[in-house]
Amino acid sequence: MSEAPASPAKVYFTNLRTHGRESQLDKLKRLIRRAGIDQIDFENKFVAIKIHFGELGNLAFLRSNYARAVADVVKELGGKPFLTDCNTLYVGSRKNALEHIDCAYQNGFTPYATGCHVIIADGLKGTDETLVSVKNGEYVQEAKIGHALMDADVVISLTHFKGHEGAGFGGAMKNLGMGGGSRAGKMEQHASGKPSVTTEKCIGCRACERICAHGAISFEGTRERELANGTTREIHVAEIDHDRCVGCGRCIGVCNQDAIAADYGAAAEVLNYKIAEYTQAIVQDRPNFHISLAIDVSPNCDCHSENDTPIVPDVGMFASFDPVAIDQACADAVMAQDTLPDTELTESRARLEEAGALDEEHAHDHFYVTHPDTAWQAMVEHGEKIGLGTREYELVEVR
């Protein structure tokens, strides 16, 4: 097992104040240069900028302007950047590459706006993946990562730091580890790894049966299906044998009716352990750099088709070579902020206090108070344990 670094990692920070001579985008460029991004050899290298494009209807995701600023710096240093993410496990506007790219474009991430192309890392149906052995992995021996993300020479995470209903917060590790997993990889992290069928949606096309390499899908059950002419007929519908299923997720990708979905069931701590290990798989053995913007700190993930009001004021922009340190620094900075009124955080705090369920240890933990069933500390602790980075950091302010 690798030991945590002996000295604190440097995390560079700048606030969002600007003056007439410099925009926030100029300030972001100056921040990442000061943090040492030019120490990476970018010359003629393919550079994956891992970002969340935001679900349609959500307005809290990072503006495309920030992606343009990072891409411009990469190109100035000789690199070939592209924006990337993997398809979602759930049904939404990013569940396959065609809809995912449409969503990215509608949310402003066009090549004209960002200066680089969008590549969905796990392909058309979320099944293009690379199997990666995880150094010091305890819960994941072989991570399933979107192929294009693993094909890149350099990885940069560009993260909207926010709350998260499953992980506690969404930072660099959540962006990379969960976001970089293929559909099967996401299922491995979120759940026991076994999908199930909503029979009311199944039309009996048998596409899932044809793609299953393990004979786990049968069509013995039946239901009545209403046809376009108003008549009905009996059809056979899919069933998945979890004893045979290996959780590859290919049936989810091939089902055009959204009739197959993962069973979410991982404990909060285990979810975060796996996210840390998937992050390890993505960044190990190649240059990586991390940028997090703690702005519009919404209580939930940008995967939602809506966003609630921010729980704290905007904090600023962070950059580091250490994904664990930058997550810890962002978490500390958010928790040091005063709570904004009339938010999910204030409502959850009131409920906990009324129930007598808020102890002194968690009273100032904004992420715990917002989502008491989460365990965000498990992610950074496990990331440090497996040698991904350190929770100890030196905050260097860039004015």
Q: What is the pLDDT of residue 20?
A: 84
Mean pLDDT of 221-227: 91
pLDDT digits (tens, 9 = 90+) for 8-35: 999 999 999 998 889 999 999 999 999 9
Q: Poorest-confidence range of 56-70, 357-371, 380-394?
A: 357-371
The answer to whether residues 376 and 169 touch, using CB atoms and an 8 Å cutoff, is yes
Q: Which domain holds residue 364?
A: 9-191+266-397
379, part of any domain: yes
Mean pLDDT of 59-81: 98
pLDDT at 207 over 90: yes
Mean pLDDT of 206-233: 91
Mean pLDDT of 283-302: 97
Beta-carbon contacts of residue 87 (< 8 Å; ≥ 6 apart): 94, 95, 96, 97, 100, 120, 122, 123, 125, 126, 182, 183, 253
Q: What is the pLDDT of residue 266?
A: 67
What CATH number is associated with residue 17?
3.40.50.11440
Mean pLDDT of 376-385: 98
Label residue 360 by pLDDT band (50, 70, 90).
confident
The verdict on 132 and 219 lying in the same domain is no
In the chain, the number of structural domains is 2
Q: What is the pLDDT of residue 172?
A: 98
2, part of any domain: no
The verdict on 328 and 208 lying in the same domain is no
Label residue 251 by pLDDT band (50, 70, 90).
confident
The verdict on 243 and 291 lying in the same domain is no
Q: Tell me how far apart the alpha carbons of residues 273 and 259 are, in angstroms, rounded to a whole number.
A: 29
The verdict on 210 and 325 lying in the same domain is no
What CATH number is associated with residue 249?
3.30.70.3270
pLDDT at 342 over 80: yes
pLDDT at 192 over 70: no
Domain boundary among 258, 274, 291: 258
How many beta carbons lie within 10 A of that of residue 25, not counting itself?
A: 16
Q: What is the pLDDT of residue 280?
A: 98
Label residue 323 by pLDDT band (50, 70, 90).
very high
116, part of any domain: yes
Cα 163 to chain centroid distance, Å, stands at 12
Mean pLDDT of 149-154: 98
Domain boundary among 211, 229, 258: 258
Mean pLDDT of 276-292: 98
Q: What is the pLDDT of residue 116?
A: 98
Mean pLDDT of 215-237: 92
Q: What is the pLDDT of residue 263?
A: 72
The verdict on 48 and 125 lying in the same domain is yes
Q: What is the pLDDT of residue 247?
A: 74
Q: What is the pLDDT of residue 268?
A: 87
Q: Tell me how far apart the alpha carbons of residues 121 and 119 are, in angstroms, rounded to a whole number.
A: 6
Mean pLDDT of the chain: 94
Beta-carbon contacts of residue 230 (< 8 Å; ≥ 6 apart): none
Q: What is the pLDDT of residue 305?
A: 92
Q: Poorest-confidence range of 42-46, 179-183, 248-252?
A: 248-252
Is the pTM of the predicted complex or chain greater than 0.85? yes
Q: What is the pLDDT of residue 193?
A: 57
pLDDT at 155 over 70: yes
Label residue 5 by pLDDT band (50, 70, 90).
low
Q: What is the pLDDT of residue 1?
A: 46
pLDDT digits (tens, 9 = 90+) for 252-276: 878 888 899 877 666 889 999 999 9
Q: Tell me how far apart the alpha carbons of residues 285 and 287 are, in angstroms, rounded to a whole number.
A: 7
Label residue 2 by pLDDT band (50, 70, 90).
very low
Q: Poorest-confidence range of 84-98, 143-157, 172-186?
A: 84-98
Proportion of the chain above pLDDT 90, given as a percent: 83
The verdict on 253 and 273 lying in the same domain is no
The verdict on 27 and 100 lying in the same domain is yes
The verdict on 241 and 310 lying in the same domain is no
